[in-house]
Amino acid sequence: MAPVHPGAVLKGLYLDSMEISITEAAMKLGVARKTLSQLVNGHMGVSAEMAIRLSKALNTTPQLWMNMQQGYDLWVAEKKSDSIHVVPFAIAS
């Protein structure tokens, strides 16, 4: 099962339930509206700085946001793993 993008969590669990618009949230977070819009629409990930901003605004931890992003990124990479070709390292004897 696919993990939920952190932007969808932000929108669904926080912004929508608190009735806060993207514009208002962006102003409160101190980021551009376009940046927050890209995040909640899944077009960009949560950076370390954004994780700190979100944690301060929502009384969560930066680790929560970073862990969600890491889980999502790993899932995306694993879906493309067949196209990742490597040569295994030789084990020294």
**In which band, very low, low, confident or very high, does the pLDDT at 13 lie, cut at 50, 70 and 90?**
very high
Is the CATH number of domain 6-77 3.40.50.1820? no
| pLDDT per position as a tens digit, 53-71 | 999 999 999 999 999 999 9
Q: What is the mean pLDDT of residues 22-36?
A: 99
- Residues 15/58, Cβ–Cβ less than 8 Å: no
State mean pLDDT over 33-43. 98
- pTM summary value: 0.88
CA dihedral 25, 27, 32, 38 (to 10 degrees): 0
Q: Note the pLDDT of residue 93.
A: 76
Q: For residues 20 and 66, what is the distance between their CA atoms, to the nearest angstrom?
A: 22
Q: How far apart are CA 37 and CA 15, in angstroms?
A: 12
Residue 15 CA: distances (Å) to CA of 23, 57, 74: 11, 11, 26
For the cut 90, the answer to whether the pLDDT of residue 92 exceeds it is no
